Structure 1
Amino acid sequence: MTKELWVKNGLVFTEEGFREVNIKIMDGKIDSLEKAEPIGECIDAAGCLVVPGFIDSHVHFNDPGRTDWEGVETGSRAAAMGGTTTIFDMPLNCSPSITSLQNLLEKKEYLRGLSHVDYALWGGMTETNLDKRSDLGQMSKGIIAWKAFMSESGIDDFQFVSPDGLTKGMQAAKEQNKILALHAEWDEEITRLTAFYQYRAGMDERRAFLASRPIAAEEKAVSFCLELAAKYGTAIHIVHISSAKVAFLIEQAKKSGVNVTVETCPHYLIFDEEDFIQKGAILKCAPPLRSKDDVEGLWDCIKNGMIDTIGSDHSPCLASMKSTTSIWEAWGGIQGVQFTWLALMDEALKRKIDLKRILPLGAFNVAERFGIAARKGRICPGLDADLVLIRLNETTIADKKSFGFRNPFSPYENREFSLKIKKTILRGKVIYDDQKGVTKEKFGLCL
């Protein structure tokens, strides 16, 4: 039976910018954008911006195996509350990691019916599976892209790739026509500096941690993988860069013809190293937070079109894993999937940056890069009706009671945002309403 639904009276973000049009939805797809007054079932978006559902290409929901850290049910609930309608789940922090075809198939089966939002899965390239080319080839058919680390991942069954291993990974990804995403920090330098700073007498432990992972370690790793990508013609995606210095390296490579895109995260745009020194483990991540100048430099990169995507890098854990006596032992990861777009849009509005520049970083740019633009990322006839209704004249306070993720702590706690997500719509179904909460039904499908 054909189901028709309208979203009316909103200011709709289209390929031509914001327009006062009504959205006709048929069977979960956008049918048309019309000026005419709709007849039939309607969602009234008066006073709201209507934007594409956000696509978060970088989350760790830790399912299966570490559901006490998060889990797809709670992670996707938080995502829906933050306006995200599609996530790409990383191949590590679940247990076992997704480094074999068997693990991938078992995870896909396990996740059926658990997610509030649509999802895709990353596959993991590690030093231990790079020679299993047949298995990797089969895996490549069922993943959104590959992920590899150039430094220790913190997960025992997800080993980082050596420089020689990365060469093999680049070749395999090119043969499969898959993107290879990289955590780009140079392991040898981090290992050396950690050994130097970890037990340095008289030095503040938090400052020592920052010193152990300098921007130079990012620059060296990025330079190396850009050279390999240029040599083999591999499509690569550098995740969670923390500094404009790294973005400039990537921009130069783009201009020379390297097939590379770059992601940063909201925490590198909202917090800085002084916040980490003050608050400690709750803001520990890798690469670490940088200086205020680096934060401003990244915003300049966004203004100049040098950043391609934004991902939350939601990396949850138990509260006890942050409450350690030593910063070195604390888990490195930030819980933020629920607040990524509230924080970014709030900050952009404060900086008088047009949302037309910000929104594609979490919608069309992600969909286009990862090959799902025929379904996701725009408000356009024929695409999935994934929509977010946002009101700019209401505020949101990140109250702990409102957290959708499993373990209720976050560096965003008590932060006030000058906007509110009123509804999140997935393929024509309202999955979150600010008055009713997240639906009990889970409509998320694997892409």
Structure 2
Amino acid sequence: MKEVDLVIRGARVVSVDQIIEASVAIAGEHIVAVGHDDTMPPAREEMRADGLFLLPGAIDSHVHFRDPGYPNKETWKTGSAAAAMGGVTTVFEMPNTNPATGTVEALRLKQKAAESSYCDFGIHGLLGDDTVERLEELLDAGVTSFKAFVGNTFGNLPAPTDGALLEGFEKLAPLGIRTVVHAENSSILQRRQQKMKAAGRIDAMAHLAARPAVAEIEAIGRVLTLAEWTGARVHIAHHSAADSLFLLREAKRRGVDVTAETCPQYLLLNTSHMLKLGGVMRLNPPIREARHNQPLWDALLDGTLDMIATDHAPHTPEEKTRESIWDCDCGFPGVETQMPLMLTEVNRERATLMDYVRWSAVNPARAWGLYGTKGVIAPGAHADIAIVDMQRAGTLSQNRLQSISKISPWNGRAVKGYPLHTLLRGRFVMREGKLVSDAVGWGRTVKGVQKMPTPKPRNTEHYSSAILQTPAGVPATAVPVGAVDWSAA
């Protein structure tokens, strides 16, 4: 048998369907064998993983690495290092950097910054009124997908008009490209925030009051209507409210190609934490009342929600601790803490390891056209693996985060279940709980390995591109209104 680079022996390999005792052989960037220890080929290196679990590397479809534009908050190097430490091997990065990723020139700046990445990555381009004519150009230049900020957030990018959103979906539906949507109604948010500011409300709970669940309900309903009409693929980011889950259930029942994520903060935190931590907890959508927590868990378990993401959104401690809630930047780091937080809940029997693999790896891989290459431990797949100790206990510390942002609502939280090692395409990027510094730059774009299913555009005869063409048999120039003798009618 041909010698391979690495054999991991004695582990328990987790898939969406089962957990089996098996060894894994890796040659170059790929897994070449999964099976009984006796069937493994000779290897240049062997690792014993007795008592440990091998999970497909997590895929986080929602991170903000702030690069270019905000190096005081994060860089690709520090953000991707945090991902590697958290068992995350692939991220999809958001376009609200400076400049926003809505031109090829801005994309080139981001691609250059990403050359220092420890993890593989996709790049969401910006879908807005000013970019809708450049979507194909951005795809050709390396964008993997798009993001529409229907609700306002950091960077204050203008929400696309409904006309631009519809036209964007019309362009992307025939291409099969999925669009992430920040689904909150911007008009509601802005009006309520302005009125509370005028009334002098600067308390932490004012942020939630400005962004009620109805803002999420309305925006999701609107987005799903446009997606269903056009046949476009959409992804609902950071789903936060129990009250809007019915829209996803009904849309999926009708066959709309919609996926949705929630985040650990919406599963595990609520307004009781907001009252204690104030601006540290400010993010969009907001942390909600405790009644929303369990329905989101239930929606993950029944498939209404597809995946876990983090909305990793770092800021400096000073930017998160200002007196007025309106002056506190929105978001906090999460890509490094997601896995231990979720594994802790697995240990508490709120879900199984197989559920977690579905949410963290399999479903994200399917949504973004990566499944088979990523999201699974199987021959032929990239050797993206998180080696996990489910018995290791500890306490999360914001001071130990790889992120520049050393402020987190998870600070001091007890967890049980940690990634000990992270492999990306066969190479250790985190080993024995420590970042492998010379793996910087090992990450690369997933653009070349995406294989989305066949698109299913609908109502194409009503697309903007179609109505600009004069139908056959109709004169190219209309008869002037004034040329008609209406008196003869």
- The correspondence for 2:118, drawn from 113, 116, 119, is 116
CA–CA distance in 2 between the matches of 1:109 and 1:437? Answer: 22
What do residues 330-389 of structure 1 show as CA deviations (whole Å, max 9, x unaligned)? 101121110011111212331442121122111011111111113110001100001111
CA shift for structure 1 position 87: 0.8
* Aligned twin of 1:396: 394
Structure 1 portions without partners, runs of 5+: none
- Give 1:6's aligned amino acid: V
> When the two structures are superposed, what TM-score results if normalisation uses the length of structure 1?
0.94
Any conservation in 1 of the 2:61–2:364 contact (CA below 8 Å)?
yes
1:262/1:308 contact within 8 Å kept: yes
Residue 291 (structure 1) aligned to one of 262, 286, 289? 289
Aligned to 1:103: 106
- Tell me what 1:80 maps to: 84
- The 3-state SS of whatever aligns with 2:381 is coil
> What is residue 354 of structure 1 aligned with on the other side?
352
Residue by residue over 1:156-193, the C-alpha shift from the partner in whole angstroms, topping out at 9 and shown as x without a partner, is 5x321122222222212224321111000011111222
Answering whether residue 147 of structure 2 is matched by residue 147 of structure 1, we say yes
Residues of 2 paired with 1:111 and 1:14: CA distance? 30
Any conservation in 2 of the 1:151–1:161 contact (CA below 8 Å)?
no
Rounded Cα–Cα distance in structure 2 between residues aligned with 1:332 and 1:127: 24
What residue number does 1:253 align with?
251
How far residue 316 of structure 1 moved from its aligned partner, in angstroms, is 0.7
| Maintained 8 Å contact 1:198/1:208 | no
The one-character-per-residue Cα deviations of 1:239-289 (angstroms, maximum 9, x if unpaired) are 001022222211111101211111111110111012112211111011101
1:3 shift after superposition: 4.5
Q: Which amino acid aligns with 2:137?
A: Q
Rounded to whole Å, the distance in 1 between the matches of 2:350 and 2:262 is 20
Distance 2:34 2:174 in 1: 40
Partners in 1 of 2:284 and 2:30 — Cα distance?
Answer: 39
Partner amino acid, structure 1, of 2:267: L
Tell me which amino acid in the other structure corresponds to 2:127: M
Matches within 5 A, 1:298-377: 298-377=296-375
CA contact (8 A) 1:80 1:438 kept: no
Q: Would the alpha carbon gap of residues 163 and 435 (structure 1) be closer, same or farther in structure 2, given more than 3 Å must change?
A: closer
Change in Cα spacing, 1:303 to 1:435, as seen in structure 2 (3 Å) is: closer
Q: Distance in 1 between matches of 2:36 and 2:3?
A: 22
Residue 128 of structure 1 corresponds to which residue in structure 2?
A: 130
* C-alpha distance in 2 between matches for 1:164 and 1:30: 46
Q: Secondary structure at the match of 2:243?
A: helix
Letter in 1 for 2:307: T
Query: What secondary structure, in the 3-state scheme, does the structure 2 residue paired with 1:23 have?
Result: strand
Match of 2:172 in 1: 173
Q: Which residue of 2 aligns with 1:63?
A: 67
Partner of 2:422: 424
TM-score (normalizing by structure 2): 0.86
Quote how far apart the aligned CAs of 1:33 are.
0.8
Question: In the aligned structure 2, how far is the partner of 1:2 from the partner of 1:138?
Answer: 44
Q: Does 1:444 align with 2:443?
A: yes
Dislocated runs of 4+, deviation >4 Å: none
State whether structure 2 residue 52 is matched by structure 1 residue 53.
no
Larger mean Cα displacement after TM superposition, 187-196 or 345-354: 345-354
The residue correspondences of 1:397-416 to structure 2 (distance < 5 A) are 397-416=395-414
State the secondary structure of the residue aligned to 2:37. Answer: coil
Q: CA deviation at 1:216?
A: 0.4
Question: Structure 1 residues 436 and 321 mapped into 2: Cα distance closer, same or farther (>3 Å)?
Answer: closer
Superposition deviation, residue 63 in structure 1: 1.0
Indicate the RMSD between aligned Cα atoms, in angstroms: 1.7
Q: Gaps (5+ residues) in structure 2?
A: 447-489
CA deviation profile, 1:298-327 (whole Å, cap 9, x unmatched)? 111122221111111001112221121200
Contact 2:9 2:46 in 1 (8 A): yes
Map of 1:195 onto structure 2: 194
Secondary structure of the structure 1 residue equivalent to 2:101: coil
Helix, strand or coil for the counterpart of 1:86?
strand
> Equivalents in 2 of 1:379, 1:305: separation in Å?
22
Determine the C-alpha separation between the residues in 2 that align with 1:109 and 1:74: 15
Distance 1:369 1:346, change over 3 A: same
CA contact (8 A) 2:202 2:326 kept: no
Q: Write the distance in 2 (CA, Å) between the matches of 1:434 and 1:411.
A: 25
Aligned to 1:10: 11
2:271 alignment partner in structure 1:
273
1: CA distance, partners of 2:434 / 2:259: 38
Distance 1:36 1:129, change over 3 A: closer
The alignment covers a number of residue pairs equal to 440
Q: Distance in 2 between matches of 1:36 and 1:195?
A: 64
CA distance in 1 between partners of 2:197 and 2:272 (Å) = 19
Shift of 1:2: 7.1
Q: What SS class does the counterpart of residue 318 from structure 2 fall into?
A: helix
More displaced 10-residue stretch of structure 1: 168-177 or 49-58: 168-177
Letter of the 2:379 partner, please give it. Answer: P
CA distance in 2, matches of 1:305, 1:265: 15
Query: Which amino acid letter does the alignment assign opposite residue 284 of structure 1?
Result: R
Give CA-to-partner distance per residue, 1:191-236, whole Å, 9 cap, x none: 22222323335x6722222111000000000111111111111111
- Please tell me whether the aligned partners of residues 56 and 385 of structure 2 are also in contact (alpha carbons under 8 angstroms): yes
Contact 1:153–1:160, Cα closer than 8 Å, also in 2: no
What's the secondary structure of 2:325's corresponding residue? coil
Deviation at 1:127, TM superposition (A): 2.4
Separation (CA, whole Å) in 2 of partners of 1:313 and 1:428: 27
Percent identical: 29
Residue 10 of structure 1 aligns to a residue whose secondary structure is: strand
Tell me, yes or no, if the aligned pair for 2:421 and 2:433 is still in contact at 8 Å. no
Is residue 68–residue 109 contact of structure 2 (8 Å, CA) maintained in 1?
Answer: no
1:233 to 220, 228, 231: 231
Q: Which moved more, 1:310-319 or 1:345-354?
A: 345-354
Give the Å deviation of 1:15. 5.2
